[in-house]
Amino acid sequence: MGRPGSGALRHGAVLMCFAPHPAPLRPEYQEIDWQTPRRDGRVRVVEWTCDCRRPVYELCGSGGLYYLRRTAQGERAAESGRAIWAETHRLWIALLTGRAR
């Protein structure tokens, strides 16, 4: 994989994506409590969705805790609550499979 912001490459008329796209929402899905971003220390982006579709989601780590970040064009970024890896990774997988948004 590349780095955030390099999720797609156009080859002629074909758009090739290197990062996943979130699946369509399922009828029953978990609503993520999106909050104002915290500005506390360094952030490491661990995984991300392709930037050819908005919003873009990132799985981030900071200070031993992990969270999801959502960035939509023309909007401020938002973050999920912070939690341990296992809990946040379950939420990330739910987001990718359409079971959370």
In sequence order, which residues have a C-beta less than 8 Å from that of residue 22 and are 6 or more positions away? 49, 57, 95, 96, 98, 101
**In the predicted model, what is the mean pLDDT of residues 59-78?**
94
**What global pTM score does this model have?**
0.83
In this model, does residue 78 exceed pLDDT 50?
Answer: yes
Read off φ and ψ for residue 95, nearest 5 degrees: -65, -50
Task: Give the type of residue at 71.
Answer: T
Q: 35: which DSSP letter?
A: B
Q: What is the reported pLDDT for 89?
A: 98
